[in-house]
């Protein structure tokens, strides 16, 4: 089995795609109206419009309702990403902090309120 992707459901796909493009520097691939993918090394972040869920899987997912999952991205320089994202008004939940296990971590919220952890592993 290969873990392939995580899909985030949104009411405003263009806004969410723009956020993750700004965050990652990766251009989204739009595969259909209301569906895009951000293809990272080893996995994919899929972004789907809520209207597609209603059309194909009514009631299966609700946009902007996540209260448990955290999207995590390993980056080379947490502080550089923070500077880029704070200029866009992104909500910071936790400023860059050295965690007890050695990672330097920054927590943000995407435009739908999903928690995003950016971390680096200093010394590795």
d(CA 15, CA 8): 13
pLDDT band, residue 53 (cuts 50/70/90): confident
What is the Cα–Cα distance from 37 to 17, expressed in whole angstroms?
A: 9
pLDDT for 47 beyond 90:
yes
Flag whether pLDDT at 124 surpasses 80.
no
| Rounded distance between C-alpha atoms, residue 12 and residue 101, angstroms | 36
Is residue 123 predicted with pLDDT exceeding 80?
Answer: no
Which tokens in the block code for residue 87? 């200029």
The domain 5-120 is classified under which CATH number: 3.30.450.30, 2.30.110.10, 3.30.70.260, 3.10.180.10?
Answer: 3.10.180.10
Q: Take residue 73 and report the two structure tokens written for it.
A: 């991205």
- How do the domains of the chain map onto residue ranges? 5-120
What does the alpha-carbon distance between residue 44 and residue 99 come to, in Å, rounded to a whole number? 26
């Amino acid at each position: 089995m290969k873990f392939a992707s995580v899909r985030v459901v949104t009411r405003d796909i263009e806004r969410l795609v723009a956020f993750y493009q700004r965050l990652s520097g990766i251009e989204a691939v739009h595969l259909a109206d209301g569906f895009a993918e951000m293809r990272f090394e080893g996995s994919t972040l899929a972004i789907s419009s809520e209207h597609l869920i209603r059309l194909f899987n009514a009631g299966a997912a609700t946009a902007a309702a996540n209260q448990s999952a955290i999207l995590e991205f390993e980056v080379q320089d947490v502080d550089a990403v923070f500077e880029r994202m704070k200029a866009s008004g992104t909500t910071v939940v936790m400023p860059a902090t050295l965690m007890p296990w050695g990672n330097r971590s920054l927590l943000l919220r995407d435009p739908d309120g999903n928690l995003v952890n950016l971390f680096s592993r200093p010394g590795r």
